[in-house]
């Protein structure tokens, strides 16, 4: 019982006794119900206000499970598309780099008096991946029989004996860069071609008809005599090639017959030649057409301006590399579009959530909560959903990334005949790899989107006044 306050006038009226009854069990009944509810709200508000805004964000996500799940699904879609764009970009970049090494752009340099030493100096440029100078010389045969024309030579019988050097020997550094070999019209049928590792070795690649005529195969040894007859060089046959050209229908000198052609290293050709042996042409393979101008500048410094012929053959590069570049550009565009669209969509969602939770914001502001903490709470809520979305996107990328890459980048082998190339110049299939750095990019963009999508609607929170909020929500 509460005692009467001091100085109060006593009530003289007679009070009738009321019958005693059982206490009311109805919720909210009784004179102290409002006080009880008010005390409970104060305790709950004091508890919520005393919490860290990070904990409030966690409780909010747990209390709004359906909306949290919807936000997670949106974030998974955004992060998956972002990761897909990055994976396609990386796969296209790797395939383009491989194409630059295997296909590249062939630059042909011709100059009167071009020596192997000058070709080697230009080939040592950082722009050049591979190069091949070609030294044509004529030589004679020792121990095997060169081919002769089926048509008699004009001038009567015995005239063919005047041909002293029936073999057309071509000194090369890399036979794979020769135009017939690179386009696949001339093919190696046994063994291998000449490579840069054969420099200083006595090896040769002979034509199929010459091999059939003398029962030669890879591993056999032939002897070739120099044009002046002073030197005989033993050569080990390392390969046999097939030239699609037919023998001429009219008489032709033996060294003009396709079957009498031999390919040897540059040093061997110099031994078989007489006097100063010059390069007929040199082919340099660079990475892209953009590097051709830089190589031209280096050739001018080395060979002299205007003293050489410089031709660029980039058709194969354009036919096979440009589609890869377009896929990479499209993937980069996807990344930007998804990032901007994701920020706009999430910003709209957060704005709607702030409007729905105006009463909550008003109560917290009325209790003295700082506005930046309210914005931080929303940022933490969105970021907490973004992180598991990145993990789910990485899982989806590892499962579906390779099939998507094969669909977009795996069709580069279907090219017209104009883009024919040697089998060793095939572009490797696209490889899609989910790397930690790529996942980190997606996580960074996802967090950036979450911050942007909460910072822009947060401007409205900074302008809120608790009294106006509570008045509007009544």
d(CA 286, CA 101): 8
Angle, in degrees to the nearest 10, between helices 371-409 and 53-63? 60
Q: Give the mean pLDDT of 12-19.
A: 48
d(CA 83, CA 440): 10
Helix (H, G, I), strand (E, B) or coil at 235: strand
**Comparing 67-81, 312-326, 403-417, which segment has the lowest mean pLDDT?**
403-417
If residue 70 lies in a helix (H) or strand (E), which one and from where to where? Answer: helix 65-102
Query: How far apart, in Å, are the Cα atoms of 280 and each of 111, 136, 369, 416, 454?
Result: 8, 7, 85, 31, 69
Q: Give the mean pLDDT of 173-196.
A: 91
Q: For residue 386, which of 72, 85, 77 has the smallest C-alpha distance?
A: 72
Whether 108 shows a pLDDT value over 50: the answer reads: yes
Give tens-digit pLDDT for 366-379. 777 777 777 777 77
Q: Which two tokens stand for residue 175?
A: 């036979």
pLDDT at position 418, please?
Answer: 39
pLDDT at position 460, please?
Answer: 66
d(CA 409, CA 403): 10
Whether 413 shows a pLDDT value over 60: the answer reads: no
Helical spans, DSSP H, in 224-370: 266-272, 292-303, 315-356, 358-366
Q: Which two tokens stand for residue 330?
A: 């499209």
d(CA 37, CA 28): 8
Calculate the CA 382 to chain-centre distance. 31
Confidence of residue 72 (pLDDT cuts 50, 70, 90): confident
pLDDT at position 461, please?
Answer: 63
- Highest mean pLDDT: which range of 90-94, 155-159, 265-269: 265-269
For the entire predicted model, the pTM comes to 0.61
Give tens-digit pLDDT for 134-153. 999 999 999 999 999 888 87
pLDDT at position 216, please?
Answer: 94
**Comparing 72-76, 261-265, 380-384, which segment has the lowest mean pLDDT?**
380-384
pLDDT at position 46, please?
Answer: 45
């Amino acid at each position: 019982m509460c005692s009467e306050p001091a100085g109060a006038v006593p009530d003289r009226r007679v009070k009738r006794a009321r019958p005693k009854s059982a206490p009311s069990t109805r919720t909210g009944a009784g004179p102290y119900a409002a006080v009880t509810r008010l005390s409970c709200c104060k305790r709950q508000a004091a508890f919520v206000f005393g919490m860290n805004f990070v904990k409030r964000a966690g409780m909010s996500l747990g209390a709004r499970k359906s909306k949290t799940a919807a936000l997670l699904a949106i974030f998974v879609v955004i992060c998956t598309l972002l990761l897909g764009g990055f994976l396609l970009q990386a796969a296209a970049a790797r395939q383009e780099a491989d194409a630059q090494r295997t296909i590249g752009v062939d630059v042909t340099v011709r100059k009167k008096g071009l020596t192997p030493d000058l070709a080697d100096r230009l080939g040592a440029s950082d722009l050049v991946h591979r190069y091949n100078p070609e030294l044509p010389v004529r030589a004679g045969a020792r121990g095997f029989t060169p081919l002769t024309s089926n048509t008699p030579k004009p001038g009567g019988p015995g005239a063919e004996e005047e041909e002293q050097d029936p073999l057309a020997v071509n000194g090369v550094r890399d036979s794979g860069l020769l135009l017939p070999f690179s386009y696949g019209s001339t093919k190696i049928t046994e063994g291998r071609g000449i490579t840069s590792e054969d420099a200083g070795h006595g090896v040769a690649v002979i034509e199929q008809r010459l091999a059939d005529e003398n029962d030669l195969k890879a591993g056999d040894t032939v002897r070739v005599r120099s044009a002046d007859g002073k030197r005989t060089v033993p050569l080990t046959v390392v390969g046999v090639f097939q030239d699609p050209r037919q023998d001429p229908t009219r008489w032709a000198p033996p060294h003009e017959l396709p079957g009498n052609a031999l390919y040897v290293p540059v040093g061997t050709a110099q031994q078989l030649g007489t006097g100063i042996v010059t390069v007929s042409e040199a082919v340099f393979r660079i990475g892209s057409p953009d590097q051709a101008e830089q190589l031209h500048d280096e050739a001018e410094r080395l060979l002299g301006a205007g003293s050489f012929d410089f031709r660029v053959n980039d058709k194969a590069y354009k036919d096979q590399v440009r589609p890869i570049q377009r896929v990479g550009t499209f993937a980069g565009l996807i990344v930007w579009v998804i990032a901007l669209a994701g920020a706009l969509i999430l910003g709209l969602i957060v704005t709607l959530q702030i409007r729905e939770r105006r009463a909550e914001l008003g109560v917290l502001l009325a209790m003295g909560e700082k506005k930046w903490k309210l914005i931080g709470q929303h940022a933490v809520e969105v970021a907490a959903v973004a992180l598991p979305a990145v993990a789910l996107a990485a899982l989806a990328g590892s499962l579906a990334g390779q099939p998507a890459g094969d669909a977009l980048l795996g069709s580069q082998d279907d090219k017209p005949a104009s883009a024919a190339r040697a089998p060793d110049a095939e572009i490797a299939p696209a490889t899609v790899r989910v790397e930690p750095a790529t996942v980190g990019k997606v996580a960074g963009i996802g967090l950036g989107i979450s911050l942007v999508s909460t910072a822009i609607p947060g401007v409205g929170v900074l302008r809120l006044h608790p009294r106006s909020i509570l008045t509007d929500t009544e």
